[in-house]
Amino acid sequence: MQDLTARQMREREFYSQYAQKHQDEDVVFDPVLGHEKRPWNSYWRLYQIVQDAFQSPSQRLLDFGCGWGTASMIYAHIGYQVSGFDVCDENIIASRRMAEKYGFSDRTDFSVQTAERLNYPDETFDVVAGIDILHHVEVEPALRETRRVLKPGGIAVFREFLVVPVFDTLRNSRFGTWLVPNDASIDDHRTEDEEKLSPNEVEIVKSVFPDHEFIRFNLLARFRRFLPNRNPGRPSKIEQLDQLVFRNVPPMQRFGGDVIMVLRK
């Protein structure tokens, strides 16, 4: 593995500790089992987009920043041949153990790499999928590597957090950080260097992938943390309301704090 930057070293150390708490979590395959669909939920929507792109078991998918392998198991269940990378050795060990647990060792491979300098050959993957990862890395080199390893006609799908007008100004105010602290925290899964994607970084995304689609989420749903959650496994009414608002009042999409980016090569 190449030498790490100071930021990459901090991320690796954070996830070495974080993995110890979460690497034995069970995988929930519901988003791809077909019993129901939740297009208003950004995570379910990403999995649906990946599933819709599946055509053949020979297709290769890159789990971009695979963590401890939960998403990789879902992609393998869909039928992809899955490669996953992560900067953290403990995550890669956990991913391999996860593949053994769910019987996907023959359809998965995992390695320690950095997003900004991937070791895969050019035009290796039909699909690249990343969940909450770009705000942990240097966006431009990571996306250029994404484009390099994608086959012509392939897609990259990223689910990310965005800086939005008004909300993040208030969120980062003294009152906002008092109400909801945003210091680095293992318990809250927040690293020292992570920041939501800025408007400038969004423009970088568009420049690297001129053929792109952004699907916004999380308008009113951002206030769920202040509401009682009596049925955490049930479909979210407030997420459904957000999508209704976005459909009927398109200018409100700019205030959606989460996004799925569908990027085509």
- Each domain of the chain, given as residue ranges in start order, spans 6-162+193-264
Decide if pLDDT at 230 tops 60: no
Q: Output the six-digit token pair for 22.
A: 């979460």
Residue 2 has pLDDT above 90, yes or no: no
Measured distance CA(115)–CA(135) in Å, rounded: 11
Q: How confident is the model at residue 198 (pLDDT cuts 50, 70, 90)?
A: very high
Q: What percent of the chain has pLDDT over 70?
A: 93
**CA–CA separation, 105 vs 218, rounded Å?**
35
Mean pLDDT over each residue of the chain, to the nearest integer = 91
Q: Which residue has the higher pLDDT, 242 or 3?
A: 242
Distance CA 65, CA 32 (A): 20
pLDDT of residue 74: 98
Question: What Cα–Cα distance (Å) separates residue 85 from each residue in 66, 94, 130, 143, 257?
Answer: 6, 12, 11, 15, 26
Q: Over the stretch 39-86, which tens digit does the pLDDT of each residue have?
A: 999 999 999 999 999 999 999 999 999 999 999 999 999 999 999 999
- As its CATH architecture, domain 6-162+193-264 has 3-Layer(aba) Sandwich (3.40)
